[in-house]
Amino acid sequence: MVRETSLSPSDFILPLFVCPGEEVASPVSSLPGAFQHSIDQLVIVAKEAFDDGIPAVLLFGLPESKDAVGSSAWADDGIVQRALRALSEGVPDLVRIVDVCFCEYTDHGHCGVLREDGSVDNDQTLDNLAHQSVSLARAGADVIAPSDMMDGRVGAIRQALDQEGFAETPILSYAAKFSSAFYGPFRDAAGSAPSFGDRRGYQMDPANGREALHEVELDVEEGADLLMVKPAMPYLDIVRRVRDRFPHPVVAYQVSGEYAMLRAAAANGWVDYERCLMESLVSIRRAGADMVITYGARDAARLLSQGWNE
């Protein structure tokens, strides 16, 4: 009766990885419980998640080919574009959120166009992000979620969507995305590890909280509709500060490393996975997140259906 924070399956967003082929469900060894799914299998899993009460998925694509600029990211027959059309038909009421970035699509694994010295050219990348976003909106994306961390990308995407007739398509901005060591298993799942260097030049310094709020404010000014903090648990203070300062819905991403640690510790008998998962999700919601992206979404929904909140 007096519990301050509760959980519901409707609080969760399930990340899914879509790959080429048919009848593919390839497990990700570093991310137990996660798979690379072909489109036919993706639709089945998404339908099961929706039936569990989870309202939304976040899609990441593994393309058939890669090049220096990630051009397959905006191809009409791209892997995510085809997945969106299949989900629109197979699970029409599911909210389809799409990650917008190039690390999965470039042959070098960085999030944009590279200069000769190997650094990312921010301004050239903006045009490509706009192309990708419009292509995904045409294919049926409900929400565009840019994760690249280029300066000005929310404004560029908003302008492109508006010009192409998608003024009502919201943008979920990875507004405070930190250069974190917790992304390792995701890079295995998405095949997106950089072939050289790292991403500290365009992702947030983990030591900087005030700068994070400034980055969020810039995205709000450019037209972001929802705001994301990533990772979640190491940055609960940022989640709270964003919640207190901005009226927008706040999303926190319990990233692959956070989730994989729980699974690994449980596999060694050191912790109770189910209790730790639910405690971590409660803490993220208590910090102020309206929604949580988590690889444990279906496990959490199952536990809630069994009366965990009681």
d(CA 234, CA 6): 21
177 is catalytic: yes
Q: Which of 230, 241, 243, 285 is catalytic?
A: 230
How many other β-carbons are positioned within 10 Å of the β-carbon of residue 205? 11
Element spanning 152, H or E: none
Please state the three-class secondary structure of 70-94 as a single string. Answer: CHHHHCCCCHHHHHHHHHHHHCCCC
Residue with tokens 């404010």, as numbered in its chain: 217
Q: Which of 177, 248, 263, 298 is catalytic?
A: 177
- The helix/strand/coil state of 242 is helix
| Helices 236-245 and 273-287, packing angle to 10 deg | 30
230 is catalytic: yes
Q: Are 171 and 225 a contacting pair, CB within 8 Å?
A: yes
Residue positions counted in the chain: 310
Element spanning 250, H or E: strand 250-254
d(CA 251, CA 11): 10
Residues involved in catalysis: 177, 230
